[in-house]
Amino acid sequence: MACGGAAIGGCGRGADSGGPGGSAAPGRASLTAGKGKGEVYVGKDADPVTALRSALAAAGGLEFIRPGSRVVLKPNAAWSRTPAQAANTDPRLLSAMIELCREAGAGKITIFEHTIDRPAAQVLAVSGIGAAARQGGAELIYGATERDFAPIEVPRGRMMKRDTLARAVLEADVFINMPKAKHHSQTQLTLGLKNLMGVNFNRQAWHSGPDLNQFIADYASAVAVDLTVMDASRILLTNGPKGPGKTREPGEVIVSFDPVAADAYACGLFDLDPSAVGYIGKAAELGLGEGTLSNIVVRRA
């Protein structure tokens, strides 16, 4: 298969072909590395913003953002679906996070998404993510083309050795992942680690590779996530990742410095054990975080 295997970057689809040029830059370490390993902070409220604020307060806030930092927020807004359909991150959470980052002293705030449905601008509008970014005065990058991505090394990867990362994320001081918790036909669930597929350029290559779950875990080992803020206010239970399908409202927002623990905790909302979601165990094996429920400390705010 032309696009298979771990040699990623040469199979760009659409008019731009070939991988982004230039040499791979070394990835930075997470600002919050080692902090709160195995700890998950959960806020619960009918209003997701209240849930977010209390979870974040329990986690100690955003004090790791140094004044003037360039912050990138990566919501899940892949699909042309409304917030009620629960296929994308709730725009209210994005608005609140923009505000909180700014209060914490952030400089330029950028919202990045590489949509799957098109046109990208419409997806951002239907999902409400575009309006939230604009009202919050954040830079909005969507409809990104190949040149918006740079090659990165994946030294710890088992199957993936190199890939691409959005330049905006690569150049940021702080990267906050804002996934949606929802059903996914292939990996069972889309959670935080899988949301990182949206900051790489060529998703097709992951799908046609030997093991999507291993690719997701490998990639997460090369992308420094400083905080995970997961939207589980309303979750999609069937027909994911795009829906429409059945939804449920746990009313939770999950905050964690440990990207694996956040995902492992969220499995419970779907009555699943983390072992059912392949990439969680594989990420834990790579030492990216705690993947076993019994070792995870849940602090409910």
Partner 1 sequence: MKTVRRVSQLLFLLLFLVLFFQTARQIDWADGRMSVGAFLPADFFLRIDPLLGWTALAASRTFLVSVALWTVPVLLLTLLFGRAFCGWICPLGTLIDGADKGVRPIRERRTNRERSWPRLKYYVLAAVAASALLGSQLVWLLDPIALTFRSLTLGFFAPLDRAVHALSAVPGLGWMESPAVFPDQRAAYGSGFAALLMLAAILAGGVLSRRFWCRSLCPLGALLGVVARVPLFRRRVGTGCNECTLCQRDCKMDAIGAKGKRTSTAECIFCYSCDELCPQGAIRMAPGKPEKSLPLDLNRRRLVTGIGVGAVWGLGASSALARRSTRDGESRITGKWLIRPPGSAAEELFTERCVRCGACMKICPTNGLQPALSEGGLGAIWTPVLMPRVGECSQNCNLCGEVCPTDAIESFTIPEKEHLFIGRAVINRSSCVVWESHKQCLVCDEVCSYSAIYWLDESGAEIGHPTGEGDAEPSQGFPYVDPARCVGCGICEYNCPAGGPDAAIRVTRDGDKRHLSREEQRAWQAANWTEREGKPPLR
For position 19 contacting partner 1 by CB under 8 A, the verdict is no
Minimal distance, residue 50 CB to partner 1, in Å: 24
Q: What's phi and psi for 50, nearest 5 deg?
A: -60, -45
Q: Which is nearer to partner 1, 239 or 292 (CB)?
A: 239
CB of 59 or CB of 220, closer to partner 1 = 220
Among 7, 25, 116, 269, binds partner 1 (CB under 8 A): 116
| Residue ranges in 177-206 that form contacts with partner 1 under rule CB under 8 A | 184-188, 204-205
Verify binding: residue 242, partner 1, rule CB under 8 A: yes
* Nearer Cβ to partner 1 (40/191): 191
Among 5, 27, 143, 268, binds partner 1 (CB under 8 A): 143
Closest CB to partner 1 among 105 and 143? 143
Structure tokens at 170: 């690569």
Contact residue for partner 1 among 33, 145, 155, 249 (CB under 8 A): 145
Nearer to partner 1, 68 or 210 (CB): 210
Residue 126 within binding range of partner 1, rule CB under 8 A: yes
- Bond from prior residue into 250 cis (ω within 30 degrees of 0): no
Shortest spacing between CB 214 and partner 1, in angstroms: 7
Where does residue 287 fall: left (phi above 0), alpha (psi -120 to 50 degrees), or beta otherwise?
Answer: left
110 binds partner 1 (CB under 8 A): no
The yes or no reply on residue 80 touching partner 1 (CB under 8 A) is yes
Q: Is 5 in the site for partner 1 (CB under 8 A)?
A: no
Residue 118 binds to partner 1 (criterion: CB under 8 A): yes
* HEC secondary structure over the chain: CCCCCCECCCCCCCCCCCCCCCCCECCCCCCCCCCCCCEEEEEECCCHHHHHHHHHHHCCCCCCCCCCCCEEEEECCCCCCCHHHCCCCCHHHHHHHHHHHHHCCCCCEEEECCCCCCCHHHHHHHCCHHHHHHHCCCEEECCCCHHHEEEEECCCCCCCCEEEEEHHHHCCCEEEEECEEEEECCCEEECHHHHHHHHCCCHHHHHHCCCHHHHHHHHHCCCCCCEEEEEEEEEECCCCCCCCCCEECCCEEEEECCHHHHHHHHHHHHCCCHHHCHHHHHHHHCCCCCCCHHHCEEEEC
Q: Determine which residue in the list 50, 70, 107, 117 makes contact with partner 1, applying CB under 8 A.
A: 117
- Closest approach of partner 1 to the CB of residue 262, in Å: 20
Greatest Cα-to-Cα distance within the chain, rounded to the nearest angstrom: 49
Q: How far is the CB of 244 from partner 1 (least distance, A)?
A: 5
53 vs 234 by CB, closer to partner 1:
234
CB of 276 to partner 1, least distance (A): 8
Contacts with partner 1 by CB under 8 A lie at 1-3, 14-16, 80, 116-127, 130-131, 134, 142-143, 145, 147, 184-188, 204-205, 207-208, 210-214, 238-239, 241-242, 244-246, 275-276, 278, 281-282
